[in-house]
Amino acid sequence: MWDIIITSLPEMVGAMLQFTIPLAVISFILGLILAVLTALIKFIEPSENKAIRYPYLLLRGIANFYVWLFRSTPLLVQLFIIFFGLPSIGVQLPAFTAAVIGFSLNTGAYASETIRSALLSVPQDQWDAAYTLNFSTRQTLMKIVLPQAVRIALPPLSNSFIGLVKDTSLASSITILEMFQVSQQITAKNYQPLLMYTLAAALYAIVCSLLSWLQHYLEHRTSKYVKGSEA
């Protein structure tokens, strides 16, 4: 048993470092940027100035549609449409690019709701206090509201990231040789499905545990002002 593990481990760890982790990290960063933008578009009330108001409302309509679309369809189907479907209208994407696009859009849709609800959970009192001191809306967001919202959003966003690491296994279905796909290939040769898939599970668990640890560290760092925290 040990020799099987020792011979297959380098290949699996390699696939993890080459595909699983880059896919998760790149998609999460892009997804997060998309999520913040989408959340702000839905959160900030349109100005009364007509020249800005209507384009802004259109943008908001697009944001709503995007979030609805990606939350109401399965991730696997989204990946299939992007990778296998789009070529029929002439859009041929490399598998890795298609996967990044799919994972980013999917993560962005969910995370935008997390961030929006975190923004909403900062009390109106904080806006009042900032406005009475003559902060602009942008200054209030940047200095007062977003820092508080980030702390609130951190645990659910960490959840999304951990979920994303595991979901990268779906990329195997669009031809990417990520870690799970490699474990399947090795199984086809050595006929040890229990061992190989358990090994894959263990590798996911190790990465996700490291991420949980990182989450606790960040939570601690950002919570130093919260009542009851000893920092």
Which residues are near another protein by CB under 8 A?
A: 48, 125-126, 128-135, 139, 143-144, 147-148, 151, 224-227
Query: Rounded to whole angstroms, what are the CA distances from 189 to 31, 71, 139, 199?
Result: 37, 38, 60, 16
| Angle, helix 2-15 to helix 193-222, in steps of 10 degrees | 50
Among 185, 179, 169, CA closest to 199: 179
Distance in Å, CB of 42 to another protein, minimum: 23
In the complex with another protein, the residue whose CB is nearer, 85 or 147, is 147
Residue closer to another protein, measured from CB, 126 or 212: 126
- Choose between 47 and 92: whose C-beta lies nearer to another protein: 47
Shortest distance in whole angstroms from residue 207 CB to another protein: 31
Shortest Å distance, C-beta 55 to another protein? 20
Residue with tokens 């967001």: 141
CB of 121 to another protein, least distance (A): 13
CA 17 to chain centroid: 18
Instruction: Give whichever of 63 and 157 is closer to another protein, judged by the CB atom.
Output: 157
Rounded to the nearest angstrom, the gap between the alpha carbon of residue 175 and the centroid of all alpha carbons in its chain is 21
Between CA 161 and CA 47 the distance in angstroms is 34
> Is residue 177 a contact partner of residue 19, using CB atoms and an 8 Å limit?
yes
> For another protein, which is the closer residue by CB, 87 or 147?
147
| Listed residue (109, 106, 90) closest to 23, CA to CA | 106
CB of 113 to another protein, least distance (A): 23
